[in-house]
Amino acid sequence: MYTALTTLINRLDSSNLSDTNVIQWGCPVPSFGDLSNSQVATLGLNPSNREFVDDRGNELQGPLRRFHTLTSLGLREWSEVDARHLGMILESCRTYFTGNPYDRWFKKLEQVISGAKVSYYGSLRGACHLDLIPYATACKWAELTPKQRSLLLDIAGDTLGLILRDSPVRLLILNGRSVVEQFQNVAGIKLDSQEMPSWSLPRQSSPNVTGIAYTGTIDTVAGVMLRHKVLVLGYNHNLQSSFGVTTEVIQEIRFWISLASKEIAQ
């Protein structure tokens, strides 16, 4: 990942990036967890600002720190980065789940990826998390303007392909409709979709929210040729923010992933 990380750091100096609300003093995050030992990866939109700051907006320090910043690396600007700094950043990615992971977000995903007999945590491992855009922004993706989102995709849309190309990942799990839509745009494909009645989320004063499963196979992403095919599974409910996602629905999604992921074990 050295090549991908170097490219991402160089892009931090892009004049366009200053218009995107990216936390430019925080390092890019090419992966959460050990990509080199992961056959399964979940996919989100971009890292949360909470990976770098507390609830008051202060930079995380000491044992609370999750990823490196200019301050923690002792740098004035990213152009000063050398091989030692790159190694430190990649080590913080590799060991993310043994430090101070953002469990409030990842524990929900852990419940569904366990269907593929992998984990982010403990001795089982075998899974990591990736983002379409590996730069944290000061606000949530949905709060960015369409222009800011478009700029970020233009600047870093090829990152996922570069990371997957040099990884053992064979199964990519997309968390939520927005991730599915943006992934399809970046990858240039249309995933197959299927309504899943058991995933329906009830509403009292409006129609229930239909559950939808997405499936596909990729061998290229944003023009980057992968070294092997990757099975893509997605679901329209964002497990962390969709209102009314029940334990039962999460278990149904887990069971579906369990059945579908058997393809990569054969």
Please determine, for residue 213, whether its predicted confidence score (pLDDT) is greater than 80.
Answer: yes
Instruction: Quickly count: other Cβ atoms within 10 Å of residue 120's Cβ.
Output: 27
Q: Give the pLDDT band of residue 261 (cuts 50, 70, 90).
A: confident
Token pair, residue 12, equals 């931090």
d(CA 152, CA 20): 7
Please determine, for residue 147, whether its predicted confidence score (pLDDT) is greater than 90.
Answer: yes
At 56 the pLDDT is 94
d(CA 26, CA 66): 10
d(CA 43, CA 216): 14
pTM value is 0.94
Asked if 252 and 240 touch (Cβ cutoff 8 Å), the reply is no
In 3-state terms, what secondary structure has residue 233?
strand
Of 162, 139, 179, 183, nearest in space to 20 by CA: 139
At 244 the pLDDT is 80
Asked if 160 and 182 touch (Cβ cutoff 8 Å), the reply is no
Q: Do the bridges between strand 40-44 and strand 171-175 make them parallel or antiparallel, or are there none, so unpaired?
A: parallel
At 240 the pLDDT is 85
Asked if 155 and 144 touch (Cβ cutoff 8 Å), the reply is no
Please determine, for residue 264, whether its predicted confidence score (pLDDT) is greater than 80.
Answer: no
Tell me the average pLDDT of the chain: 93
d(CA 162, CA 188): 15
Q: What is the pLDDT of residues 172-197, one digit of tens each?
A: 999 999 999 999 999 999 999 999 99
What is the secondary structure of 178-229 as a DSSP string? HHHHHHHHHHT---EEEE-GGGPBP-SSS--B--EEEEEEEEEETTEEEEEE
Q: What is the pLDDT of residues 57-101, one digit of tens each?
A: 999 999 999 999 999 999 999 999 999 999 999 999 999 999 999
2-265: what CATH class? alpha beta
What is the secondary structure of 21-33 as a DSSP string? TB-TTBPP-S-BS
